[in-house]
Structure 1
Amino acid sequence: MELKEQTEALKIQLNRLNDKYENNAPPENKKDRQLFQKVKEETLPIYELLSTWEEDALKLIKERKINVHPQQITSTRENMELLLMHSYYIDVKRKRFMELNNSIHYIFDQLLREIE
């Protein structure tokens, strides 16, 4: 999968995480083992895609094919990892969640424009 497809797939996941955050109540018990297993199973493919995306994006930056700062890529991966957890555990204020969400979308969109 190329960087463009990876980025588009991650944008879809980001929108799903936003929906999950907006439409679900926080879990009653955050230490629930079943919840942990469910979160782990559902998020593993996203974590793997995010890791591949970061490697591929950094490689293109190194080859000077896209003009994005490497730290923006790393921060975006870290922010998306935070959002993954916040969207399941709903343990952060909406304003903070939306700031992270918008920041990630901004970099994804910037990357897509650079790839074009």
Structure 2
Amino acid sequence: MELIQETKQFKNYLEVLEEKYNENKPPESKKDRQFFQMVKNYTAPIYDLLTEWENHALQAVKERQVNLHPQQITSTKENMELLMLHSFYIDVKRKRYKELNHSIYFILDRLLDELQK
């Protein structure tokens, strides 16, 4: 199923972004156009995946393939968008970053568990 592959890829991106958060330093200026362009180019495929994932996940919820609420899917997408920016700009404390990361993993793992039953 396509949603399973997208969810696994989503989890892989989460791991890579967490590495970036842990290893990178914040940019010297948040207005650095070159840095912004690099972030934009790097995250574009992730945004595309998120849009596809959200559509497929909401469809699975609608068809009752998974026992999740549509708002959980939407919130997971929004949290991932926040996490992407925080991974590059490193503008939140580690605790907040981990909370976002954990909430995303929780929904993704639950989704995978229910789809693979």
**Aligned-partner Cα distance in 2 for 1:58–1:4:** 13
Q: Report the equivalent of 2:25.
A: 25
- What RMSD over aligned residues (CA atoms) do the two structures have, in Å? 0.8
How many residues are treated as equivalent by the alignment?
116
> What's the TM-score once normalised by structure 2's chain length?
0.97
**Aligned-partner Cα distance in 2 for 1:64–1:108:** 16
Give the letter aligned to residue 107 of structure 1. I
**Alpha-carbon shift at residue 29 of structure 1 (Å):** 1.0
Secondary structure of 1:16's aligned partner: helix
Give the letter aligned to residue 113 of structure 1. D
Q: Report the equivalent of 1:82.
A: 82
Q: How does 1:36-115 map to 2 (within 5 A)?
A: 36-115=36-115
What CA deviation, in whole Å up to 9, does each residue of 1:93-116 have, x standing for no partner? 000000000000000000000101
**Alpha-carbon shift at residue 30 of structure 1 (Å):** 1.0
Task: Give every structure 1 segment of 4 or more consecutive aligned residues whose post-TM-superposition deviation is greater than 6 Å.
Answer: none
> What's the TM-score once normalised by structure 1's chain length?
0.98
**Aligned-partner Cα distance in 2 for 1:114–1:41:** 33
Give the letter aligned to residue 29 of structure 1. S
